[in-house]
Amino acid sequence: MKHDRSMKRFWVFFILASVAVSLFPLIVTSEYSVRIATIVLLWIGMAGCWNLMSGYTGYIDFGPVVYFGLGSYATAISMTKYGALFFPSVILAGVVAALMALPIGISTLRLKGAYFAIATFAFAETMKQVSLEFDRTFGVTFFEGSHGITLPLSGHSNEFFFYCVLAVTFVIVLLHYSIEHSKFGYGLKAIHEAEPAAEIAGVNTTGLKLRAYVTSAFFLGLLGGIEAYWITYITPTDVFNVQKTVQMVIMTLLGGMGTFLGPIVGASCLTLLSEYLGATFVEDYMILVGAIIIVIILIMPNGIVGTIKERKGIRFI
Amino acid sequence: MDTVLLQAIINGLLLGGVYAAYSAGFSLIFGVMGVVNLAHGELIMLGAFTSYWMFVYLNMDPYVTTPFAMVFLFVFGYLLQKYIINRVIEQPHIMSYILTFGIHLMVANLALKFWTHDFRSITTAYSGMNAAFWGLNVPLSRLITFCLALLIIAALWFFLARTETGRAIRATSMDKEVARLMGVNIREIYAITFGIGAAITGLAGASISPFVIIFPEMGLGYTIIAFCVVVLGGMGYMPGALWGGLILGVAQSLTATYLSAGISVAITFLILFFMLIFRPTGIVGKGLAA
């Protein structure tokens, strides 16, 4: 069976890659490299979350950052206000994000195309404004407004956060694989190809979309929580920054939407590029990102992985 | 009625007129091509900068510069559609959102590179002038822009309803395949539509330049407001931009007066969110459904 062989090849490749990645902090000595590696992993995870929902179904979510931000805030508030420990707080962050995604998903996933994109975007911006203005308007101290929240200093090394992010990203990548080979995944792809036809064929399209949406929100919440504790200082304009959404979209697009390797390739390329260019030439970096988007859309709309797959007929999995 | 409330409503209506002026082009482009133009704010920014540079170097009144902004942006929009956006127009719409987002990033950051982060404003002899009566204030330049907005929308309506090109544009937006069979050059019509959309947006950008802060990154905020206005009024339904603009303007002005300015932005997005879910065809119900 071809399927079995490719599956075996995948597992060998996957285990080797994960061992190599998890040994990374032990091999390199500079803190800087570990930080960069953590950032790359974080973006792979975030782009992966976006890919899970939007890449496979074709429903373009322009507000995924809201679940990242909610996760950051859930972690920060439960740690500073209720003295909770880090790990329970992060789990809570994921749960809060998923619970929030449920009603939002139910209401917005009925919308199509541009309307879904705008609604999700509007929701993300609403949450940003609410967390900015809630305290001042109602005279309480909960979100702390634009001052932001300072989390307790962790005292953990960069390696600790590297492994935290790695664990979550690892699960997200595994999820991609299982989606590619499950009924759930075929359902999502069917929604992308022709939603009415899928519905007639008996696919519970709304249920599947909702599952994908809530799953991606849960993992974004986890990542948001971990990042908050790592950075130790969060503000609404930071964690709900629309730029984060943009990065997720572009990374996935560059790598290839709805492919397993897409987010990994896209996130690695763009993070390294921005590390190289972004620190010194911010504007040049943004101009370049704009140009990259235009070129990808015009020349290779399937992204790097999708285009190679098409040209050479290579199967990565 | 007390003066505070009345003043808030007047401010809201004036603000709404401004919103309507720069959202009509967004609605036109979406209605005809289904393109959600995420670079819309950049068209406003370019219009405002056209006005600003002509004011600085040629000492021209900002309202006199509006025709120049209009011509400049027509050419810009026409070329953009003809050589870039037309290439993805037959593909799934998501391609066009991401493409226009790329254009947004490029234009905004190129402007940032050449014109720096500085906040600029235009001070004319009449800026700060008010028409005051019964204890109420009506800022003069906002009033002029408000009237201009009504004029823009009326002219656009007339153009679409009464001219040959306007008829071709309407036909294309109804059914592009049939329009093509009737001998309409779809791609040319798309380019002209984008050009017109960009031109009226540029005109609006130039006409708001006397009373807004002009800087390269101003665009995104305007794009978001245009979204809200157009969704409120009904996507693709031209007079809807006026309804949407006025409602949003009054709602924002009232919440800013009685609650806080920050919360009024949150209210904007809440309105947008609930409109999309419960009434995606807009207040009047004549917009395009998803």
Q: CATH no. for residue A261?
A: 1.10.3470
Residue B288 sits at the chain A interface (C-beta within 8 Å): no
How high is the pLDDT of residue A142?
76
Residue A130 sits at the chain B interface (C-beta within 8 Å): yes
Domain that holds residue A273: 10-312
Q: A206, A198, A187, A204: which is closest to A105 by C-alpha?
A: A206
Residue B279 sits at the chain A interface (C-beta within 8 Å): no
CB atoms within 10 A of CB A194: 11
Of A112, A126, A242, the CB nearest to B270: A126
Rounded Cα distance between B37 and B223, Å, is 8
Q: Quick check: is B131 in a domain? A: no
How high is the pLDDT of residue A203?
81
Mark which residues 237-276 of B lie under 8 Å from A by CB. 259-260, 262-263, 265-266, 269-270, 272-273, 276
Q: Quick check: is B105 in a domain? A: yes
Q: A25, A100, A48: which is closest to A69 by C-alpha?
A: A100
Q: Quick check: is B128 in a domain? A: no
Amino acid at A255: G
How high is the pLDDT of residue B289?
58
**Which single residue is written with the structure tokens 């988007």?**
A293
Name, in order, each residue with C-beta under 8 angstroms of A142's C-beta and a sequence gap of 6 or more: A77, A134, A135
CATH of the domain at B154: 1.10.3470
Residue B99 sits at the chain A interface (C-beta within 8 Å): yes
Shortest alpha-carbon distance between residue A29 and chain B (Å):
37
Closest alpha carbon within chain A to B36: A114
Domain that holds residue B227: 3-116+139-278
Digit-coded pLDDT (tens) for B118-127:
888 877 777 6
For chain A, the domain total comes to 1
Rounded Cα distance between B231 and A232, Å, is 39
How high is the pLDDT of residue A212?
92
Q: Answer yes or no: is the ipTM higher than 0.85.
A: no
| pTM listed for this prediction | 0.82
The number of angstroms, rounded, from the C-alpha of A164 to the middle of its chain's C-alpha atoms is: 15
Of A210-214, A271-275, B25-29, B130-134, the poorest mean pLDDT is in: B130-134
Q: Quick check: is A148 in a domain? A: yes
Q: Quick check: is B127 in a domain? A: no
How high is the pLDDT of residue A213?
93
Q: Higher confidence at residue B28 or residue B280? A: B28
Digit-coded pLDDT (tens) for B196-238:
999 999 998 888 888 888 888 888 888 888 888 888 888 777 7
Q: Quick check: is B285 in a domain? A: no
How high is the pLDDT of residue A262?
87
Digit-coded pLDDT (tens) for B225-276:
888 888 888 877 777 888 888 888 888 888 888 877 767 777 877 888 788 7
Write out chain B residues lying below 8 Å of A58, CB-based.
92, 94
Q: Higher confidence at residue B96 or residue A45? A: A45
Q: Quick check: is A1 in a domain? A: no
Shortest alpha-carbon distance between residue B289 and chain A (Å):
9
Instruction: Please give the full DSSP string across B158-198, using - where no structure is assigned.
Output: HHHHHSHHHHHHHHHHH-HHHHHHTT--HHHHHHHHHHHHH
Write out chain B residues lying below 8 Å of A117, CB-based.
36, 97
**Ranges of residues in chain A whose predicted pLDDT is under 50:** 1-2, 316-317
Q: Quick check: is A250 in a domain? A: yes
CB atoms within 10 A of CB B123: 9
Q: Quick check: is A243 in a domain? A: yes
For chain B, the domain total comes to 1
Exposed, middle or buried by CB within 10 Å (0-12, 13-18, 19+), for A146?
Answer: middle
Pick the residue of A128, A132, A293 with the most B CBs within 10 A to test the interface with B by mutation: A293
**Which single residue is written with the structure tokens 């950075």?**
A231
| Mean pLDDT, chain B, integer | 83
For the record, the structure tokens of A288 come out as: 């370049």
Write out chain B residues lying below 8 Å of A277, CB-based.
none
Digit-coded pLDDT (tens) for A167-220:
999 899 888 888 888 888 888 888 888 888 888 888 888 888 999 999 999 999
Residue B71 sits at the chain A interface (C-beta within 8 Å): no
CB-defined contacts A:B, below 8 A: 127
Q: Higher confidence at residue B174 or residue A267? A: A267
Exposed, middle or buried by CB within 10 Å (0-12, 13-18, 19+), for B143?
Answer: middle
**List of long-range contacts for A8-12, beta carbons under 8 Å, 24+ apart:** A10/A177, A10/A317
